[in-house]
Each structure stands twice: as C-alpha cells, then as structure tokens.
C-alpha cells in the first residue's frame, strides 16, 4: 500500500502532513504531495542471522587503497559548439546525465537539436520528445539545418516504453525533452509531480550508468527561476546547466551551476537568429561594439568567468527624485552590493545619493558576482552623478571596502592582457596589484588606494591627442 507524504519543492524537506509554510525553509505553498511505497520490514530470519554472515558481506565490499584504483579516461563527445563544450568541461562525457534548465522559449530545444548535427557524424542519437510531435521536431530541424541520418526521433512520455526503445536502438546520446512530461506507469500520480519526476530520472540515470549512454535532460523552471521538481533532482544528475537570457533580446548565456567533470564558473554565450543559435567566441568585442561614446555613467570592467577574462560595460544612471524614498534598481549586479557602494560614496566622499534615483545595469545580459567590479561600478556612479564621461581608453578594476579603500583582485595579468588586446590604453587597478604586476602589456597603470583616487581620476583634465 502506498503512503502519502509532502515534499517541499524549494528545499526538499519531507513532512507527514501538508503545511502552508514549509517548516524547514519557510517558503509558502511549496509542499507537494507524493506517494511512496513503504519499505519492507526485515524477515525474522534476517534479524536472527548469525554474525558470521557479516564477515561474508565485508569480503564482498572490500576497501581499496587509492593507489590500487584503476579507471579508464573519460570519453567525451564534442558537440560542435565550442561555447557549449567549454561549459561542459571539454565535451559531453560518456555515461553522464546533464540537466539543462531555462525559461520557456529561451532556446533549450533548439540548442540540443543543433548539436545533433555534429554529434551525429560519429555517434547515434535518440531524441525523445514529450511536448511536441515528430513533425514539429522535423520542422525545427529543417530550420536549423539538421539532416543527419544518425538521429532518431521518438514521441513518448512513458519511461517504461522509452527504456526498451533505448535497448533496441542502442544510441550513444539520448535527449529527453522534457523530464516534467515523463511518467512511470508503476506510480499512479500524474506527470510533472515530484514522485514522477524523481522516479523517471532515477530510471534514466540507472540506464546511463549501466550502458554508458550520455543523457541530456531538459527541465522546466518555476516562477522563481529555479528548476521545477524536487531539489534532489539537481543532486542526482552529473551536471546542471542554466540557459539564461531575455526572450526580447538576441543574447543567450549558458551557465554551469554543477559539473562533476569540469568547472562550475564557465559560461557560454550565444546569439539567437532565424537559423538557430550562433556561438559568440569573442563576447567582449561584441559587448563593447555598442558602447556609447562621451556619455556619462558607463565604465569598462574586466571579470573572470571561469578561465576566461571578459570585458564588460557597467552602466549607471542617477537622477533627482521627488519622492521621499529614492528608487534603487540593478540588473546583472547584486542589489545589496549596489546599496553598499552608494553608502560608501555618500559617507566617504559626501555625495548626496540619498536624494537620487539610482539605476545600475550590466550590458549584454551578463550577471556579475565577483567584487572585482566594485571600483568600476563606483566609477560609473561617480560619472553619472558628476555628469563627466569616463575616458574610453580607461578600464577600472578593484574591490571597494567599507572604508573606501581599493582592495586587490586575483588574476590581474589575464585581465590586463585581454584589456590591452581590445585597445585599452590605461588601467586603474588597486595599489597592491600594481606592486606585484609582472607585465603592463603596453598600458599605463594607474594605482588606486581609495575611491578618492577614482574621483581625482574622473576630474583630471583630458589629455590632448
């Protein structure tokens, strides 16, 4: 007989009855019902088993020294999209299970269908669709130019019928689109519930590990942007990728938040067009092409996305407000970090941002998490407040502390090298970074000790060309 329990979709906590508010994480209306089969009780004979049986069990599970363990090198499939391979850590690993999540219409199905053309040259693929018909898949394949004969399409939602088809076809790569439409016939709940998502994923993972089949799973997101379904789903798979971007804009960013075979800091950038997704190999150049000239409120900064240095543009706008509580908005930049910078600028320099509406934006749809862009954000805020444009050939890097000091950042040589390649002539960096710098890459290095140096640099007269 099946028992009923309630699982929080936000944190995965299990309770015996329903609550409006999760007792673990405090989220409202996140408890979903699931049915679980009770575990069978051990037989009396097993409970009275003699101690000598334990010795046999220990012999079956023998621990090995670390130097005795041997394994084969991971076999990877190149997908044909360098940006996607970068995020995966060098390609799709044989026998791995990758979960790709994103908002509806962002391009997940298009991306997976595009890689079939390249992977199909050397491997056999099975595309399982639970949301579209095979004719709709054919129309999209014609649009993005996929015509490989090694791609098989199956329209099915029952995982009990998908597994036998995998045994028959014996593909190297399986694409499941999407996991929320799959269900296990052994469980009476409807597709998309926590029980069905978990059980279907467990069967697919077992198949991937048993037959060394690489499986790509498409996952939906909820209204908060998190992957729909149980939180344990992210722990079960080998890699979790988020496909980000605004459907109204062409840029798309794929980011790894979990990867057992590579770094979790890498990102890949794509551009959506009529022919599908096109990878952007040099995102810094693409972002800086549209940078406005002689306009106050924008400053260039260098960020590290995994092993790749990227030059991005930070835009700021401040204007007088007539409301008692000024407005603060940030896009791609941490809101709490923006509040901290505004407090430091007002306290240390005396600028009245408390009477200003402030907006901060990261151009290109990027999201910046590292504090190395504090100085550039502060420079953009100063530029907008003072109505003085930041010189186009200047790039600013550094972390800003509560005392207004500029602290050093890591991997400065790679940041400066990329900035020099893109034509920047001057770099304002923390004083401690400048002392340890090995190569200036032909750039003029300006040493920053505090935000007062940023203000003096902004007010300095322009050099005549």
- Of the candidates 258, 197, 184, which has an alpha carbon nearest to the alpha carbon of residue 230? 197
Q: Is the whole-model pTM more than 0.85? A: no
Residue carrying the six token digits 């600013």: 396
pLDDT for the residue numbered 335 = 94
Q: Is the pLDDT of residue 50 over 90?
A: no
Among the ranges given (106-120, 131-145, 273-287, 293-307), the one the predictor scored with the smallest mean pLDDT: 273-287
User: How confident is residue 56, by pLDDT bands cut at 50, 70 and 90?
Assistant: very low
pLDDT at 246 over 90: no
What is residue 48's predicted lDDT score, i.e. its pLDDT? 52
Same fold: 76-281 with 285-459: no
Q: How confident is the model at residue 55 (pLDDT cuts 50, 70, 90)?
A: very low
pLDDT digits (tens, 9 = 90+) for 122-169: 899 999 999 889 999 999 999 888 999 999 999 999 999 999 999 999
pLDDT top residue among 330 and 25: 330
pLDDT digits (tens, 9 = 90+) for 333-342: 999 999 999 9
Which tens digit of pLDDT belongs to each residue from 447-459?
999 999 999 999 8
More confident residue, 304 or 40: 304
User: Which among 213, 178, 237 is positioned nearest to 77, based on CA atoms?
Assistant: 213
More confident residue, 247 or 357: 357
User: What pLDDT sits at residue 71?
Assistant: 67
53 has a pLDDT exceeding 50: no
Q: With pLDDT > 90 as the criterion, what percentage of the chain qualifies?
A: 47
Q: Can you tell me the distance from the alpha carbon of 386 to that of 167, in angstroms, rounded to the nearest whole number?
A: 68
Class of domain 76-281: alpha beta
Q: Residue 54 has what pLDDT?
A: 45
CA pair distance 386, 22, nearest whole angstrom: 48
Residues 364-397: tens digit of each pLDDT: 778 888 899 999 999 999 999 999 999 999 999 9
pLDDT value, residue 37: 54
The pair phi, psi for residue 282, each rounded to 5°, is: -125, 75
Check whether domain 285-459 has CATH 3.30.230.10, yes or no: yes
Measure CA 296 to chain center: 31
List the structure tokens of 208.
């991937």
Whether the CB-CB separation of 271 and 277 falls below 8 Å is answered with: yes
Residue 70 pLDDT class (50, 70, 90 cuts) = confident
Q: State the chain's mean pLDDT as an integer.
A: 86
User: What is the per-residue pLDDT for 428?
Assistant: 95
What's residue 100's pLDDT?
Answer: 93
pLDDT-wise least confident of 9-23, 26-40, 97-111, 312-326? 26-40
The residue ranking higher by pLDDT, 243 or 51, is 243
Could you report the per-residue pLDDT of 215-241, keeping only the tens digit for each?
999 988 766 656 656 667 888 899 999
- Would you list the domain boundaries of the chain? 1-39, 76-281, 285-459
For range 248-253, the mean pLDDT: 77
pLDDT of the residue at 248: 67
pLDDT of residue 33: 77
Long-range (24+ apart) CB contacts under 8 A made by 349-356 are 349/404, 349/451, 349/452, 349/455, 351/382, 351/385, 353/318, 353/326, 353/381, 353/385, 354/326, 355/320, 355/321, 355/326, 356/318, 356/319, 356/320, 356/321, 356/326, 356/385
Residue 58 has pLDDT above 70, yes or no: no
Residue-wise pLDDT tens digits, 112-123: 999 999 999 989
């Amino acid at each position: 007989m099946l028992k009923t329990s309630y699982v929080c979709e936000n944190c995965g906590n299990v309770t015996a009855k329903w609550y409006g508010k999760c007792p673990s994480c405090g989220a409202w209306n996140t408890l979903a019902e699931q049915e679980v089969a009770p575990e069978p009780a051990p037989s009396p004979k097993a409970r009275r088993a003699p101690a000598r049986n334990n010795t046999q069990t220990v012999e079956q599970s023998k621990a090995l020294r670390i130097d005795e363990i041997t394994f084969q090198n991971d076999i990877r499939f190149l997908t044909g999209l360098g940006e996607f391979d970068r995020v995966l850590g060098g390609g799709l690993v044989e026998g791995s299970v990758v979960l790709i999540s994103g908002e509806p219409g962002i391009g997940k199905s298009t991306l997976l269908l595009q890689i079939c053309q390249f992977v199909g040259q050397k491997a056999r693929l099975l595309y399982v669709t639970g949301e579209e018909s095979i004719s709709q898949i054919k129309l999209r394949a014609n649009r993005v130019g996929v015509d490989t004969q090694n791609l098989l399409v199956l329209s099915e939602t029952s995982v009990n019928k998908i597994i036998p088809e995998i045994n028959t076809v014996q593909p190297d790569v399986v694409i499941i689109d999407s996991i929320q439409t799959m269900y296990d016939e052994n469980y009476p709940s409807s597709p998309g519930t926590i029980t069905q998502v978990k059980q279907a994923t467990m069967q697919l993972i077992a198949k991937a590990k048993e037959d060394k089949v690489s499986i790509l799973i498409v996952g939906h997101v909820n209204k908060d942007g998190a992957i729909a379904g149980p939180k344990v789903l992210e722990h079960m798979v080998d890699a979790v990728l988020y496909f980000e971007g605004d459907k109204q804009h062409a840029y798309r960013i794929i980011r790894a938040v979990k990867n057992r075979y590579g770094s979790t800091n890498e990102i890949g950038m794509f551009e959506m067009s009529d022919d599908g997704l096109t990878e952007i190999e040099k995102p810094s150049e693409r972002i800086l092409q549209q940078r406005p000239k002689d306009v106050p409120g924008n400053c260039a900064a260098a960020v590290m996305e995994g092993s790749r240095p990227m030059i991005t543009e930070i835009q700021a706008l401040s204007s007088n407000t007539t409301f008692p509580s000024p407005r603060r908005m940030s896009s791609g930049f941490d809101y709490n970090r923006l509040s901290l910078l505004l407090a430091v600028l007002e306290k240390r320099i005396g600028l009245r941002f408390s009477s200003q509406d402030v907006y901060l934006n990261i151009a290109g749809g990027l999201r910046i998490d590292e504090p190395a862009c504090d100085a550039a954000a502060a420079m953009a805020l100063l530029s907008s407040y003072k109505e003085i444009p930041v010189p186009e050939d200047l790039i600013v890097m550094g972390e800003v502390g509560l005392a207004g000091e500029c602290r050093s950042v890591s991997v400065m040589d790679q940041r400066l090298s990329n900035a020099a390649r893109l034509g920047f002539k001057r770099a304002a960096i923390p004083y401690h970074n400048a002392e340890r710098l090995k190569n200036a890459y032909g750039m003029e290095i300006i040493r920053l000790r505090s935000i007062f140096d940023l203000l003096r640099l902004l007010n300095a007269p322009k050099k005549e060309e």
